[in-house]
Structure 1
Amino acid sequence: MSVFGALSALLSTLADTLDPLFGASATAVAIIVFTLCVRLALHPLARAAARGDRVRRDLAPQVAEVQRKHRGDPERLRRALTETYADAGASPLAGCGPMVLQIPVFMVMYRLFTGHDHDLLTHTLLGAPLGGRWSDALADGGVFGAHGRVYAGLFAVIAAVAAYTFWRGRRMLAERKAEAAAVQKAAQAGQAAGRKGKKGGKPAPEPAQLPGPAAGLTRWLPLLSFGTLVTAAIVPLAAGLYLATTTAWTAAERTLLYRPAPPTGSTG
């Protein structure tokens, strides 16, 4: 049995189980439940990524010192930074793991619901075919038609998650910049004390940054959340349900895993 056949059988079985509660929309709910199960299976990777991120933040003073020592030798600086992260068991791209591993799952879902000879395509969500697209809904009743309202609800969920993800991403980026500035200030103070009034000396280290393209990726990543809206508008409704569910999970998961740690020594 192919992977598409196995997935179809799994979704059909799950839909049959949910049918007494959700009726004709049971297959759509089965897609959501299946997506949640996939994300739950990937959750240990997300936790590992969060731990790696905390390690990288703790390494900021060491990274600043490495940058100070090797700022005149880019190749040696790159090697030293790589060794520093490796010794601490951290990776600048650790957070990409769950996202990359979801791509094959999404592609399978997309292929499953774009075939023309598959029974699952005949199932609906509140009357809208799971194999249909937004363009089909616009042609059959317009934006506020029976099918158009289903897509409007889907887009509203995705837009809300994207807006929250964007806001939270910008806030986290501002917090990281503030932390980097604090590291630089502390390094400058320590350097000034070490000189003990002597003139000259090496300049203070720059704020710690992720090496290579990771810094640029971090800067623009919050904007990618709005790209999900565009994708959901052109893929089949079933794939849009997968997107809405997985992005909502990601937003909730990152809020939980990256919440600020309570102050040390605080009492209840």
Structure 2
Amino acid sequence: MLAFAPLDGAVGAATSVLSGIAAFIAPVAGPAAMALAIVAFTVAVRLAVAPLSLAAVRGERRRTALMPKIQELQQRYGKQPDRMRTELTALYREQGTSPLAGCLPVLVQAPFFMVMYRTFTIAPPAGELWGVPLGHHLMQGLGGSVLPLYGVLLLLLILLAVFFARRSRRQLGPQATGLAKLMPFMSFLTIPTALVLPLAATLYLVTTTSWTALEHLVLRRPTH
């Protein structure tokens, strides 16, 4: 395992928080305490970075609203690159936005997701769910509760993938060409990913993907 001190320190802190949550709910949750702690911790982190998600959505909407004016400038100054850059800069300044609006909040969120991913994959926390250890991989066997448990989790991921694929197809429209046509299918990559992750990471994946779907329903709902 490659060591990266800042990230490893954050992973250690996350593991301590997880242990604290699990210990707090253990009297009620029993053996499933750590599994529920993973869900609760993931939701808490997503709540903490929710303002960044909101900022990203606002930036995307500003860029979308400017597209007609940008296309007009492209038609007018498409053969004059320097003039085009000047006019675009003036347009963004006038509207109080930038070409990167919405991108920076997404990049700022990335370290949080890296920490959680490492927390649940490098050294999965001890615990179990339905009698299946949180460190269990499918290649270790399908006996006991493994098959029904993973069946439920994979079904949830399939339903979420269908949800994202439909939204992506709707946003792209029939005019999508080339690689853009493949975008709706990217959401299904969570399914093979879940097949090679330990159970703890699969729980995280289902929880964070469900939260993203909720954000889409709340923050990215049509404005008209």
Structure 1 and Structure 2 fold alike (TM over 0.5): yes
- In structure 1, the residue matched to 2:3 is none
Paired residue for 1:231, among 177, 193, 201?
A: 193
Is residue 2:71 matched to residue 1:72? Answer: no
**Residues 58 and 102 in structure 2, CA contact (< 8 A), matched pair in contact too:** no
1:101–1:235 distance in 2 versus 1, CA, 3 Å = farther
Contact 2:57 2:102 in 1 (8 A): yes
Q: CA RMSD in A?
A: 2.9
Q: After TM superposition, give the deviation of residue 111 of structure 1 in Å.
A: 3.4
The structure that has the greater radius of gyration is 1
1:34: Cα distance to partner? Answer: 0.7
Which consecutive unaligned segments of at least 5 residues does structure 2 have? 1-7
Q: Does 1:127 align with 2:131?
A: yes
1:35 maps to which of 39, 42, 48 = 42
Structure 1 CA distance, aligned partners of 2:190 and 2:40?
A: 20
CA 1:47–1:112: 2 relative to 1, 3 Å: closer
CA distance in 2, matches of 1:73, 1:36: 49
Give the SS at the match of 2:221: coil
Letter of the aligned partner of 1:169 in structure 2? S
- Distance change >3 Å, CA 245–CA 82, structure 1 → 2: farther
**For residues 92 and 133 of structure 1, what CA distance do their matches in structure 2 show?**
43
Name the TM-score, length of structure 1 as normaliser.
0.70
Q: In the TM superposition, what is the alpha-carbon distance from 1:76 to its structure 2 partner?
A: 4.4
Q: CA deviation at 1:58?
A: 2.0
1:80–1:10: structure 2 CA closer, same or farther, 3 Å change rule?
A: same
Letter in 2 for 1:59: L
Cα 1:92–1:219 change in 2 (3 A) is: farther
The answer as to 2:213 corresponding to 1:251 is yes
Question: Which residues of structure 1 form unaligned runs of 5+?
Answer: 178-214, 263-268
TM-score norm. by structure 2 comes to: 0.82
Aligned-partner residue type, residue 205 of structure 2: L
Identity %: 43
Q: Residues 56 and 85 of structure 1 are in contact (CA less than 8 Å); yes or no, is this contact kept in structure 2?
A: no
Relative to structure 1, is the Cα distance of residues 140 and 65 closer, same or farther in structure 2, using a 3 angstrom cutoff?
Answer: closer
Aligned to 2:171: 172
Paired residues, what number? 217
Checking the alignment, whether the CA contact within 8 Å between 2:121 and 2:200 is kept in structure 1 is no
State whether residues 232 and 243 of structure 1, in contact with CA within 8 Å, keep that contact through their aligned partners in structure 2: yes
Structure 2 counterpart of 1:253, one-letter code = E
Tell me by how many angstroms 1:78 deviates: 4.9
Letter in 1 for 2:194: A
